[in-house]
Copies of this chain bind each other. A is one copy, B any other.
């Protein structure tokens, strides 16, 4: 049986009230008493029972994050870094992080969100891979539950969170590619429901337009944010008549898969075909050749999201409520020298 506050109080011939107040730093406790309590608590290895505290305080001191998808997408290093950021910031603020996984827009996902919110498991939630019309956003806003999101959906909701500006970064990347002489530039995206697909495809088309290059439907392919998806989509692009000489990918995993497809066809990436990604995952520096990518500070974004969410929970007036991040173009050998 773990030690309870009663055990501590009994040992010291104090009331549990005093013990509790001494621990929580109230200033109406005698300095001697507080010191005694702290010492004894340390000695006895007492930690307040979280469930009791939570029930009484009507909050859980826990944030929730539900990863999109089961196994495949999970292993995107993007998420490892993201969770690391969430975990570190949460720990620094004495909160806990509850993590689970469910396929995007599935019944499991809905059940999980409902259980966590209605069961009071979490005080707030972090959302990623936001969809254009996102059930989660509408639900959480409707329940008046604090949440922050990476990327906004189109739902008419007052968002708090971080948004990556794909537009400028991709324009910059296309500038780099056209300056290298590329004019047949393809794009591999993902499901049209995703906000990032919406933004990045749009940015790609705009970038072509401002370089006076006509868009071609045959140069746009669809993956699923995984290496496998990138591999397949690049296979299609590269095996058609008039293949692209450069491919812009929605994320790094897609790009790594695309590189693999190019290699398989005997193409030398960086010489015969240029390939670029988005995210700047750690592995992107270690591929062969190293991958040109639009680097997002994922770890720091995660920490910032936690800070914003805790601010929301504390009822602070945040400003700004939306932080815009500019990705950094890292030019590496996969798009020539």
Q: Which residues does chain B contribute within 8 Å of A282, judged by CB atoms? A: 75, 227
Query: Given A99-B83, A100-B97, A257-B286, are A49 and B119 also a contact pair (CB < 8 Å)?
Result: yes
Query: Given A87-B100, A286-B257, are A55 and B51 also a contact pair (CB < 8 Å)?
Result: yes
Q: Is A330 an interface residue (CB 8 A)?
A: no
Judge whether B287 and A288 touch: CB under 8 Å: yes
Q: Is A159 an interface residue (CB 8 A)?
A: no
Contact mask for chain A residues 293-305; partner B; CB cutoff 8 A; 1 contact, 0 none? 0000001000000
Judge whether A120 and B2 touch: CB under 8 Å: yes
Q: Which residues does chain B contribute within 8 Å of A135, judged by CB atoms? A: none
Judge whether A286 and B55 touch: CB under 8 Å: no
Judge whether B100 and A96 touch: CB under 8 Å: yes
CB within 8 Å of B: which of A69-96?
A: 70-71, 74-77, 79-81, 83-84, 87-88, 90-91, 96
A66 vs B51: C-alpha distance when bound (angstroms):
20
* A114 CB to nearest chain B CB (Å): 7
Q: In this complex, which of A49, A79, A90 has the most chain B Cβ atoms within 10 angstroms of its Cβ?
A: A49
Give chain A's interface secondary structure class: helix
Q: Which residues does chain B contribute within 8 Å of A74, judged by CB atoms? A: 80-81, 83-84, 87
A2 vs B88: C-alpha distance when bound (angstroms):
30
Q: Is A172 an interface residue (CB 8 A)?
A: no
Judge whether A108 and B84 touch: CB under 8 Å: no
Q: Which residues does chain B contribute within 8 Å of A118, judged by CB atoms? A: 2-3, 45-47
Contact mask for chain A residues 114-133; partner B; CB cutoff 8 A; 1 contact, 0 none? 11011111000000000000
Contact mask for chain A residues 181-206; partner B; CB cutoff 8 A; 1 contact, 0 none? 00000000000000000000000000
Q: Is A256 an interface residue (CB 8 A)?
A: yes
Q: Is A321 an interface residue (CB 8 A)?
A: no
A–B pairs, 6, beta carbons within 8 Å: A47-B114, A70-B84, A71-B299, A74-B81, A74-B83, A288-B288
User: Which A residues form the contact surface with B (CB < 8 A)?
Assistant: 2-3, 45-52, 54-55, 60, 67, 70-71, 74-77, 79-81, 83-84, 87-88, 90-91, 96-102, 108, 112, 114-115, 117-121, 227, 256-257, 259-260, 263, 281-283, 286-288, 299
Which 9 residue pairs of A and B lie closest in terms of their CB atoms, listed nearest first?
Answer: A288-B288, A47-B118, A51-B54, A51-B55, A74-B84, A47-B119, A75-B80, A50-B119, A99-B99
Given A50-B119, A52-B55, A84-B101, 18 new contacts (CB under 8 A): A2-B118, A47-B115, A50-B121, A51-B55, A67-B87, A70-B84, A74-B87, A75-B77, A75-B81, A75-B84, A75-B281, A80-B80, A91-B100, A96-B98, A97-B99, A227-B283, A263-B288, A283-B283
